[in-house]
Amino acid sequence: MAALRAGKTNNEADQPSSPVLRFGSDKPLKLDAGTLLSPFQIAYQTYGTLNDARSNAILVCHALTGDQHVANTNPVTGKPGWWEVLIGPGRIIDTNRFFVICSNVIGGCLGSTGPASTNPATGKPYGLDLPVITIRDMVRAQQMLIDHFGIEKLFCVLGGSMGGMQVLEWASSYPERVFSALPIATGARHSSQNIAFHEVGRQAVMADPDWHGGKYFEHGKRPEKGLAVARMAAHITYLSEAALHRKFGRNLQDRDHLTFGFDADFQIESYLRHQGMTFVDRFDANSYLYMTRSMDYFDLAADHGGRLADAFAGTKTRFCLVSFTSDWLFPTEESRSIVHALNAAGASVSFVEIETDRGHDAFLLDEPELFAAINGFIGSAARARGLSA
């Protein structure tokens, strides 16, 4: 069973069930690690139609364990796209009006080159032979995808969490190509606490004997237990104490009394185990190491002499930032420091903090105030861009 699932994920890595753009040795990807990645590929999805002026394109950047299937049924899980509540025909981001692009990030495991992809030099999966990927590397690759579509300037780049980091990187590295930017529940750098949580997750993966130094595919194994534990720990950080208590309290799972053992007595335990188990069915363990590392390394101010405002000097991009009151992974203060930097850079910026007890994951959920803010921001940006309703 494990081997079967392993095989399935591996196929998505090389031969994704979405369009894929392959770059040969003439177009290598320059990596921050100091090497070139070549050949490489980007798996992506698009929705809607690019207009003649090529001015209605929206790039959606996915989070840590997301993928390009933002608004279609996921081929691995069979579940709806991860942001279908927001994106689709007649939705807030209306695909009858906008051309929406979402690509799997470099280092991912759903079809863009990552550690589960076959290394052409060896015929085996890259594993840890893939250089460490940064947020800027991901954005550099996305920019090559946007070039492929002949799009000079994206109407909007948006995303939450790690996706929000990519949005900030886009706005900083390619300001002339971003008309509006919508970074949600994110930060300009990963905090020490966040790096700490990621390290716990990575250690869980690497402590699993089935990890085999990253060469588990060659052993016909996958470090499912380690990856599941990593996901369980991370999942707690995506919620809030209030939401956990509201949903689960101290309720017992399918039993009337404590068992005086270590089975999942509590509903919250059962819930987390389920989250861990379903995650390993859809995600590659090495890719999890690479994704978490990319966020840890992100520090936009450090890339600009320690002054965040300099990352946005002279920008003409319209910004809207969103944070959530109960998000303790990327608390409001993280967004506020970006807002202050944008103010200092003289940028056009809106900033909304949304009251919710649903924690970091609120950005993926049906949050009416979030949708109202996105709708208002996109609407006014579209008028400024001369896009008809």
Binding site for another protein (CB under 8 A): 318, 320, 339-341, 343-346, 348-355, 369, 372-373, 375-377, 379-380, 383
If the CB atoms of residues 329 and 342 are measured against another protein, the closer one turns out to be: 342
If the CB atoms of residues 207 and 372 are measured against another protein, the closer one turns out to be: 372
Task: Look up tokens 């999890």; give the residue.
Answer: 288
Contact status, residue 12 vs residue 284, Cβ threshold 8 Å: no
Peptide bond between residue 39 and the one before it cis (omega within 30 degrees of 0): yes
If the CB atoms of residues 17 and 350 are measured against another protein, the closer one turns out to be: 350
**Catalytic choice (69, 327, 335, 361):** 327
Task: Based on the residue annotation, tell me whether 161 is a catalytic residue of this protein.
Answer: yes
User: Which of 314, 377, 384 lies closest to 55, judged by CA?
Assistant: 384
Structure tokens at 384: 């400024």
Task: Based on the residue annotation, tell me whether 263 is a catalytic residue of this protein.
Answer: no
Q: How far is 154 from 54, CA to CA, in rounded Å?
A: 8
For residue 316, the minimal CB distance to another protein (Å) is: 11
Return the beta strands (E) in 111-246 as ranges: 154-160, 178-184
If the CB atoms of residues 18 and 323 are measured against another protein, the closer one turns out to be: 323
For residue 82, the minimal CB distance to another protein (Å) is: 24
**Catalytic choice (161, 180, 240, 294):** 161
Task: Based on the residue annotation, tell me whether 327 is a catalytic residue of this protein.
Answer: yes
DSSP 252-278: BSS-SS--SSSS--BHHHHHHHHHHHH
Residue 206, exposed/middle/buried by CB under 10 A (0-12, 13-18, 19+)?
A: middle
If the CB atoms of residues 275 and 375 are measured against another protein, the closer one turns out to be: 375
For residue 61, the minimal CB distance to another protein (Å) is: 21
If the CB atoms of residues 61 and 352 are measured against another protein, the closer one turns out to be: 352
Residue 68, exposed/middle/buried by CB under 10 A (0-12, 13-18, 19+)?
A: buried
Helix (H) and strand (E) counts in the chain: 10, 12
For residue 56, the minimal CB distance to another protein (Å) is: 17
For residue 344, the minimal CB distance to another protein (Å) is: 5
Task: Count the Cβ atoms, other than its own, within 10 Å of residue 380.
Answer: 14
User: Which of 129, 157, 173, 172 lies closest to 290, judged by CA?
Assistant: 129
Sign of the dihedral through C-alpha 271, 244, 65, 366: positive
For residue 304, the minimal CB distance to another protein (Å) is: 16
Q: Which residues are catalytic?
A: 161, 327, 360
